[in-house]
């Protein structure tokens, strides 16, 4: 039985990887019109959360003029959607037991990642709107004028929101597996490691390979350090707070 399931399982992993790599390659050159399937619901969700309105500008994105904030293609959250899909697929497919269950899990993972991305990205955008304006009116603005540039603050907010959201998603997926009696994880300390590997592989790993090909390393080391400085404390905190998983 195990030998018969292995080729099907490998095929599911290959399909998942192909979807992620193909979508990431397509996303690099996609404009606002091609990404409206995710930009539009994200803008509407931010409107609900913030009580402000966004106007659609063709070939640009969604703009809130009073706050001078643009939900552009770079803010679409497609990369996080791919990370969420990877975190739902790669650690869990091998726990499904059969190819049929694995296929169903993979088929449900993509729409789940899409909907979850809109929810998480809306919160990220909301924080990106209000945190900088709050810091500008506080004494911390002196600090932000030195080492904490607007670009770094934007990266910190995005990384913290997305990484935390990913761990929550992974925890929820593991809870679903336990509920339907599919081999739960047994490690407390390394429970979230698969999700972290998916995150770093797509956020840093794939760009690293691209930079090797282009031989372009400008600001990459600084970005890696900043990403690690934000993610590792969150990962450690989640590992300490997480309860040990119990067998079926």
For 35-49, what is each residue's pLDDT tens digit? 999 999 999 999 999
Task: Assess if residue 6 is contained within a domain.
Answer: no
Please give the pLDDT value at position 4.
47
Q: How many CB atoms lie within 10 A of CB 63?
A: 17
48 close to 92: Cβ distance less than 8 angstroms: no
- In this predicted model, what pLDDT tens digit does every residue of 61-116 receive, in sequence order? 999 988 889 999 999 999 999 999 999 999 998 888 788 888 999 999 999 999 99
- In this predicted model, what pLDDT tens digit does every residue of 19-38 receive, in sequence order? 999 999 999 889 999 999 99
What is the tally of structural domains in the chain? 1
115 close to 37: Cβ distance less than 8 angstroms: no
Task: Assess if residue 42 is contained within a domain.
Answer: no
Name which residue leads in pLDDT, 159 or 246: 159
Task: Assess if residue 217 is contained within a domain.
Answer: yes
Residue 186 structure tokens: 């047994």
Task: Assess if residue 115 is contained within a domain.
Answer: yes
Task: Assess if residue 57 is contained within a domain.
Answer: no
d(CA 117, CA 162): 9
Residue 119 structure tokens: 């929810």
Model confidence, pTM = 0.88
Average pLDDT in the chain:
87
Task: Assess if residue 126 is contained within a domain.
Answer: yes
Q: What is the mean pLDDT of residues 191-214?
A: 92
Contacts 24+ apart (CB under 8 A), 232-235: 234/160, 234/163, 234/164, 234/167, 235/163, 235/167, 235/192, 235/196
What's CA 161's distance to the chain center, in Å?
A: 9
- In this predicted model, what pLDDT tens digit does every residue of 118-142 receive, in sequence order? 999 999 999 999 988 887 776 655 4
What range defines the domain where residue 129 resides?
78-241
Task: Assess if residue 200 is contained within a domain.
Answer: yes
d(CA 244, CA 143): 40
Dihedral pair phi/psi, residue 173, rounded to 5°: -65, -40
Dihedral pair phi/psi, residue 62, rounded to 5°: -115, 130
Helix (H/G/I), strand (E/B), else coil: 56:
strand
Task: Assess if residue 197 is contained within a domain.
Answer: yes
Please give the pLDDT value at position 8.
82
């Amino acid at each position: 039985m195990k030998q018969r399931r292995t080729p099907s399982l490998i095929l599911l992993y290959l399909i998942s990887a192909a979807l992620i790599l193909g979508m990431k390659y397509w996303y690099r050159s996609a404009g606002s019109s091609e990404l409206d399937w995710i930009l539009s619901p994200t803008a509407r969700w931010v409107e609900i959360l913030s009580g402000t309105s966004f106007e659609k500008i063709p070939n640009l994105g969604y703009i809130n003029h009073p706050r001078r904030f643009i939900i552009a293609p770079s803010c679409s959250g497609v990369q996080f959607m791919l990370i969420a899909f990877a975190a739902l697929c790669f650690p869990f497919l091998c726990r499904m037991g059969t190819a049929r269950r694995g296929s169903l899990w993979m088929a449900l993972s993509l729409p789940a990642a899409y909907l979850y991305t809109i929810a998480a990205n809306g919160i990220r955008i909301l924080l990106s709107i209000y945190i900088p304006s709050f810091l500008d009116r506080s004494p911390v603005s002196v600090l932000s004028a030195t080492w904490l540039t607007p670009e770094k603050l934007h990266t910190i907010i995005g990384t913290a929101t997305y990484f935390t959201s990913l761990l929550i998603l992974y925890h929820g997926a593991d809870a679903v597996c336990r509920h339907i009696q599919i081999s739960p994880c047994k490690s407390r300390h390394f429970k979230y490691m698969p999700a972290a590997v998916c995150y770093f592989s797509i956020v840093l790993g794939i760009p690293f390979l691209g930079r090797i090909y282009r031989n372009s390393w400008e600001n990459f080391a600084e970005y890696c350090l900043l990403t690690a400085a934000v993610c590792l404390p969150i990962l450690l905190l989640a590992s300490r707070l997480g309860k040990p998983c119990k067998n079926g």
